[in-house]
Amino acid sequence: MILKSLLLSLVRYKAAADDALLDAVRACADTADPTDHAKALRLLNHIHVVDRIFRAHLTGVAHGYTAEAPPVPPIATLAEAIRATDRWYVDHVAASDPATLDEPVAFTFTDGQAGRMTRAEILAHVVTHAGYHRGEIGRLLPGVGAASERDVFAGHLHRAEPARRMQASAAVA
């Protein structure tokens, strides 16, 4: 059960970090360098496509993506799609039987290579892959600095569960 609890915390963190970054990217659209803003949107779209590909692997359905990057939709459309996919991951982990998290899933990468990961490894990959690229976006767009500075798991846990601070204070005293 501890693995499921950890994975649920991680996908909730990813959803919150994605949400904050989407708002920040949208807010700096008029002030950011247009080339860097376009790169940031491409990275957000890449994160989303990878999330959708691994969602398909988890559910056993074809995803339809190829190694070629799909066009980047408008920010409002992309944000809605990212948030919906993040909700799916949270709901999926919450409903998962902990015993299934160690099950291997065989799949084919978009480059045609065979792949095999456990369900837990796929979920961890989705979280860490997105975090890597959110950091890249934070470096591209100085205007999203506040969202990037808060994009850490420990910070998320304490914002999501403020009682942790009180419990920590009591333990130290």
104: which residues sit within 8 A by CB, 6+ positions away? 116, 117, 118
Q: What is the DSSP string of 54-118?
A: HHHHHHT------SSPPPPPPHHHHHHHHHHHHHHHHHHHHH--GGGGG-EEEEE-TTS-EEEEE
- Ranges of each domain in the chain: 2-172
Rounded to 5 degrees, what are φ and ψ at 97? -80, 125
- pLDDT tens-place string over residues 95-129: 999 999 999 999 999 999 999 999 999 999 999 99
Residue 63: pLDDT above 70? yes
Q: In degrees, to the nearest 5, what angle opens at C-alpha 44 toward C-alphas 42 and 50?
A: 100
pLDDT value for 170: 61
114 or 149, greater pLDDT: 114
Angstrom distance (rounded) from CA 22 to CA 123 = 21
Q: Give the model's confidence band at 147: pLDDT under 50 very low, under 70 low, under 90 confident, else very high.
A: low
Angstrom distance (rounded) from CA 67 to CA 46 = 11
- Residue 133 assigned to a binding site: yes
pLDDT value for 165: 77
The CATH topology of domain 2-172 is Four Helix Bundle (Hemerythrin (Met), subunit A) (1.20.120)
